[in-house]
Amino acid sequence: MPAFTFEKISPPVRRAPVNTGPKKPRGLISQMIDRFAERRARRALQGKRVARRDEKPAE
């Protein structure tokens, strides 16, 4: 039988949110990627609209 034992100590409980300060501005690269993605999505939607118009029978 061991002469001593180890107790499991749980970490302290955080009562406040981790990030309480002002939000950091996004990086320049992230902003550029967002802009490119948004433009590409808009172009894709415009391309689908054109295709739908072409599919309709002409009267």
pLDDT of 23 reads: 72
pLDDT digits (tens, 9 = 90+) for 31-43: 999 999 999 999 9
Averaged pLDDT of the chain: 76
d(CA 56, CA 35): 33
d(CA 48, CA 54): 10
- The total number of residues written for the chain in this structure: 59
Of the CA atoms within 13 Å of residue 37, those in its CB half-sphere come to 6
pLDDT digits (tens, 9 = 90+) for 10-23: 888 877 766 666 77
Structural domain spans, the chain: 28-54
d(CA 11, CA 9): 7
Nearest Cα neighbor of 27 from 39, 19, 35 is 35
